[in-house]
């Protein structure tokens, strides 16, 4: 049947081309063959606003009439369908594709017929795909049949697609988020889709070129502004919005299966804004630089992030992070103080799924001081696993006094435990060994030692003698017994339920903390986390929250994504994969949205805006100085 269709189309096409051969010489009726040089010149002339050239004899008009005729439309339609047929056969022979699920019914079947998203590749650098679920392709399948394995929604070189029937968690999350948004929910949801499906964008305004953003580019900053609106600076209202988003995200968190605790991570990410002279509350922040000998200092803002670190099924699984809260660190506060407030607010929220259960919080050495540990140490179900610097000095806990306590101030701290002096360590209370295999297959030996009931010095208002902790020392050696790292890793395990964790639990938990660094790198490179240039601080905070929601959407859609290999990525696995990486989900996001649909409505043009009234001028924004933190009390002086 396939060969007969080809013979019929080629015969009709050749016949039409021969007829045009007479028309081009001033003969009878005919048509120009598609794809000729004359047709390309006409299209280029039309794109540049020039007058199209017509050949002598009126061939252009006859060509258009023939293309609009019944036979011309049928031939062009069948040629396009045959190209899709050949591509589908090649894809079916190379891979096995799961059957496609039902389309989204959030807005009914009428909306699905009226609203069809354009194919992948319009305004992007990805390979273009065709919508094989169109009525023309459906009719063609009924005539010539469909081989086994061709998906209804096809993308080139897809590997490991898993489509589930019914309502997917991603659909439900998007519907609840749509109901939560108050102002311009349609534009905000389109912006989130454009952000999730545009890895090629290098600026925020380029997201308006995405086919998923169905509005003009002027609606993009309006959507960011409308995400949160309050009368003036209102931190209480923004905190209420952050709690609502955290509860919405928390309702989709899966409970741990392999480990007996929830794993959370806290860190701070800098957003450099050195040239934003009108942006308020800028200060000096840490900005990493690859150049040696240069002070890693920049000017901008800092944002504290608290995220869930999902457990991994096996070694080599992608580094997924689910951000639960994002808050800007003011210049008059410390990142550890803001991080402690976020952790306490999340763990004390009774509507979170981990409320009342054992939670392990991991952080780097910046959070190993009393300013952070003294604020979260009283949480009953939280255990802090933080890294310590190698030059710290701790103290052993004194035994409780027998009988009447001596007069004077009580003694809280005993013998010194100097991390640089091995003679003060004594014998470890617990010791174990494990192995660690790197990505290159090298096997290393890890020796872990632990000392219990140690104390650190506190400060006024944060008495750290109330919170004893366990100190862990980890050392990694290769197969020849040589040290892999120059310095050992010191970890502080603090909390009332720290005894429920083994040494391996604390070691593996802190190892997963580095997934936060991968998230920050992915957010800056692919989600434009630090690329939004705005003179308004509230809009920047809105953008960081939108990046948070975009990350959650990618995480929820990881089981719907397929691995879209590029021509130079032949080293990647070609078989079914249990979990896709964030980059792979972002490449396949447009196909996922066509599969599950969107609750957002399309744009409704209302004419041109009148704009500002004649003579109105907003004036020049004031230039603000950079805030420099000092040790003195009071308002820090400007730089």
Concatenating the DSSP letter of every residue in 520-565 gives: HHHHHHHS-TT----S-HHHHHHHHHHHHHHHHHHHHTTTT-----
The tokens describing 280, both together, are: 């308020």
Q: Which of 513, 489, 510, 514 is nearest to 501 (CA)?
A: 510
Q: Compute the average pLDDT of residues 615-632.
A: 84
Q: How many domains does the chain have?
A: 3
Same domain, 221 and 282: no
Q: 362 in a domain, yes or no? A: yes
Residue labelled with tokens 């069948």: 78
- CATH number of the domain encompassing residue 442: 3.90.350.10
Distance CA(517)–CA(339), nearest Å, equals 16
Taking 70 as the threshold, does the pLDDT of residue 439 lie above it? yes
pLDDT digits 0-9 by tens, 374-417: 999 999 999 999 999 999 999 998 887 777 777 788 888 999 99
Show which of 12, 44, 68 is a domain's final residue. 68
Q: 615 in a domain, yes or no? A: no
Same domain, 219 and 256: no
Taking 60 as the threshold, does the pLDDT of residue 35 lie above it? no
Same domain, 362 and 247: yes
Q: 312 in a domain, yes or no? A: yes
Same domain, 172 and 131: yes
Q: Compute the average pLDDT of residues 48-58.
A: 41
Distance CA(422)–CA(425), nearest Å, equals 5
Taking 90 as the threshold, does the pLDDT of residue 172 lie above it? yes
Same domain, 298 and 181: no
Using only C-alpha atoms, what is the Rg of the chain?
A: 31
Half-sphere exposure of 271 (CA within 13 A, CB side): 27
Q: 544 in a domain, yes or no? A: no
Q: 61 in a domain, yes or no? A: yes
Distance CA(322)–CA(529), nearest Å, equals 15
Distance CA(39)–CA(381), nearest Å, equals 72
Same domain, 308 and 436: yes
pLDDT band at 124 (very low <50, low <70, confident <90, very high): very low
Concatenating the DSSP letter of every residue in 440-479 gives: T--EEEEEEEEEEEEE---BTTB-GGG--EEEEEEEEE-T
Q: What percent of the chain has pLDDT over 90?
A: 51
Same domain, 570 and 443: no
Q: 538 in a domain, yes or no? A: no
Q: 180 in a domain, yes or no? A: yes
pTM: 0.72
Q: What percent of the chain has pLDDT over 70?
A: 73
Phi first, then psi: give them for residue 412, nearest 5 degrees.
-105, -35
Show which of 19, 38, 68 is a domain's final residue. 68
- Which range, 38-47, 69-78, 173-182, 230-239, has the best average confidence (pLDDT)? 173-182
CA torsion angle 346 350 351 352 (round to 10) = 40
pLDDT digits 0-9 by tens, 88-99: 776 665 544 333
Same domain, 431 and 477: yes
Same domain, 346 and 443: yes
Range of the domain at 220: 108-227+557-596
What local confidence, expressed as pLDDT, does residue 95 receive?
Answer: 47
Same domain, 58 and 186: no
Same domain, 314 and 438: yes
Q: 613 in a domain, yes or no? A: no
What local confidence, expressed as pLDDT, does residue 64 receive?
Answer: 65
The CA-atom distances, in angstroms, between 115 and each of 121, 288, 439, 601, 629 are 18, 45, 45, 9, 54
Same domain, 324 and 378: yes
Q: Which residues pair with 72 in a beta bridge?
A: none
pLDDT digits 0-9 by tens, 315-343: 778 889 999 999 999 999 999 999 999 99
Show which of 15, 44, 68 is a domain's final residue. 68
Could you list the beta-strand ranges (E) of 110-213.
none
* Strand, coil or helix: 306: strand
Over 315-347, what HEC string results?
CCCCCCCEEEEEEEECCCCCHHHHHHHHHHHHH
Taking 90 as the threshold, does the pLDDT of residue 155 lie above it? no
């Amino acid at each position: 049947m396939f060969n007969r269709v080809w013979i019929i189309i080629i015969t009709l096409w050749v016949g039409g081309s021969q007829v045009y051969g007479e028309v081009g010489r001033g003969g009878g009726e005919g048509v120009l063959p598609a794809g000729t040089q004359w047709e390309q010149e006409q299209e280029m002339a039309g794109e540049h606003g020039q007058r199209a050239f017509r050949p002598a004899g009126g061939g252009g008009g006859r060509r258009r009439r023939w293309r609009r005729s019944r036979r011309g439309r049928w031939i062009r339609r069948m040629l396009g369908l045959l190209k899709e047929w050949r591509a589908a056969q090649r894809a079916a022979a190379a891979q096995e594709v799961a059957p496609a699920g039902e389309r989204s019914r959030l807005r009914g079947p009428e909306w699905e017929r009226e609203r069809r998203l354009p194919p992948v590749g319009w305004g992007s650098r990805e390979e273009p795909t065709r919508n094989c679920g169109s009525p023309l392709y459906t009719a063609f399948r009924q005539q010539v049949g469909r081989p086994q394995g061709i998906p209804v929604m096809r993308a080139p070189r897809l590997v490991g697609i898993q489509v589930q029937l019914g309502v997917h968690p991603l659909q439900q999350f998007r519907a609840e988020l749509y109901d939560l948004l108050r102002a311009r929910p349609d534009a905000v949801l389109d912006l989130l889709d454009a952000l999730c499906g545009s890895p090629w964008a290098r600026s925020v305004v380029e997201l308006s070129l995405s086919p998923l953003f169905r509005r003009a580019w002027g609606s993009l900053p309006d959507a960011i502004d409308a995400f949160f609106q309050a009368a003036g600076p209102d931190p209480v209202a923004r905190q209420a919005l952050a709690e609502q988003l955290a509860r919405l995200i928390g309702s989709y968190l899966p409970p741990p299966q392999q480990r007996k605790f929830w794993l959370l991570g806290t860190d701070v990410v800098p957003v450099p804004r050195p040239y934003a002279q009108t942006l308020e509350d800028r200060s000096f922040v840490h900005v990493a630089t690859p150049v040696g000998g240069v002070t890693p200092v920049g000017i901008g803002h800092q944002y504290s992030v608290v995220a869930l670190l999902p457990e991994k099924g096996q070694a080599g699984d992608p580094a997924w992070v689910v951000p639960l809260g994002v808050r800007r660190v003011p210049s008059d506060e410390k990142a550890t103080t803001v991080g402690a407030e976020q952790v306490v607010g999340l763990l004390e929220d009774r509507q979170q799924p981990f409320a009342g259960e054992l939670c392990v919080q991991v952080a780097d050495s910046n959070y190993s001081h009393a300013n952070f540990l003294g604020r979260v140490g009283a949480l009953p179900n939280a255990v802090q696993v933080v890294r310590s610097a190698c030059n710290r000095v701790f103290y052993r806990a004194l035994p409780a006094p027998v009988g009447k306590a001596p007069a004077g101030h009580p003694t809280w701290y005993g013998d010194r435990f100097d991390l640089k002096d091995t003679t003060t360590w004594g014998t470890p209370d617990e010791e174990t060994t494990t192995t660690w295999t790197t990505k290159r297959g090298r096997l290393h030996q890890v020796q872990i030692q632990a000392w219990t009931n140690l104390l650190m010095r506190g400060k006024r208002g944060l008495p750290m003698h109330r919170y004893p902790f366990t100190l862990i020392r980890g050392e990694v050696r290769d197969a020849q017994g040589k040290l892999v790292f120059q310095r050992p890793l010191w970890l502080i395990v603090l909390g009332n339920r720290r005894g429920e964790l083994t040494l391996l639990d604390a070691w593996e938990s802190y190892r997963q903390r580095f997934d936060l660094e991968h998230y920050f790198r992915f957010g800056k490179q692919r989600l434009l986390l630090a690329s939004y240039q705005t003179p308004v601080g509230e809009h920047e905070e809105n953008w960081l929250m939108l990046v948070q929601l975009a990350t959650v959407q990618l995480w929820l859609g990881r089981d719907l994504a397929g691995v879209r290999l590029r021509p130079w990525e032949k080293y990647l696995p070609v078989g079914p994969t249990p979990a896709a990486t964030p980059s792979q989900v972002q490449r396949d996001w447009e196909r996922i949205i066509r599969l599950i649909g969107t609750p957002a409505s399309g744009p409704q043009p209302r004419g041109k805006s009148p704009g500002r009234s004649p003579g109105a001028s907003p004036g020049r924004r004031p230039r603000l100085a950079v805030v420099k933190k000092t040790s003195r009390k009071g308002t820090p002086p400007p730089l």
